[in-house]
Amino acid sequence: MATTITRPVPMELWGKDHWSTFAYAECRCVDNRGRIKFTHMRCEAQRHPLLLSSRMSHVANNGPYPTRLRDGVELQDHDDWDCLADCVAAGLLEMQGLPEGYLDVEPGKRGKIYPQLKRRKNSLGYEWDGHPKVRLTEEGIQAAAALRAHKANGGQFSDFAWPQP
C-alpha cells in the first residue's frame, strides 16, 4: 500500500526502517565517530546521487526503496537518508558534513544544490569532498537506550515507540 505523508515524517508514524536506521546511526556514533558508511544505506540515485555508494550504483536504478512506516504503510521516494533527515527533524540526531539543506530539499529539486559542492567523484560522475557524520542529541541518547532495551527484551524495530505513550 502506498501513501503520501508530509515531511518530515512524524515520529508516531515511524516503523522498522526509521528505527533501524536510527539504531545504525547510534552504532556509528559509538564505534566510528559518527561516520556514516555509504554502502550501509538504502539510497535512491535519483534522490541522493552524491550519497550513492560506488558499490551500489549497479542496483541504484532498479526502482524505488519505499520506507515502511508503522502499520505496514509504505512511503515512496523515501530512503535511509530521508530517515536520517527525519531523525534530525525530530531532535534525535545532528548531521554534519553535508551541504546545508541537502537532505531538506524538495524531492526532484536536489540538482540545484550540486554546483555549490566541492570535489569527490562517485560512480555516477557526481563530485563532492564531504563525508556525512551524525551525532546523537541528549534526547537521541535516551531514545537509543530505550530502543536497545526494547530490542533486548524481544521487541522489534517495527513496534518500538518513542516517547513511550
Nearest residue to 108 via CA among 19, 37, 7: 7
- Tell whether 13 is covered by a domain: yes
* pTM listed for this prediction: 0.79
Kindly report the average pLDDT of the chain as a whole number: 78
Q: Look at 39 and 100; give whichever has higher pLDDT.
A: 39
- How many domains is the chain built from? 1
In a domain, residue 134? The reply is yes
91 vs 51, which has greater pLDDT?
A: 91
- 9: pLDDT strictly greater than 90: yes
Q: Is residue 165 part of a domain?
A: no
3 state SS of 78: coil
Query: Within a domain: residue 62?
Result: yes
Tell me: the pLDDT tens digits for 73-102? 888 888 898 999 999 999 999 988 776 556
Share of the chain above pLDDT 90, in %: 41
| Range with the poorest average pLDDT among 16-20, 46-50, 153-157 | 46-50
The conformation of residue 14, written as its DSSP 8-state character, comes to: B
The whole-angstrom distance between residue 84's C-alpha and the CA centroid of its chain comes to 3
Q: 30 is in which domain, residue-wise?
A: 2-152
Amino acid at 99: P
pLDDT at 124: 44
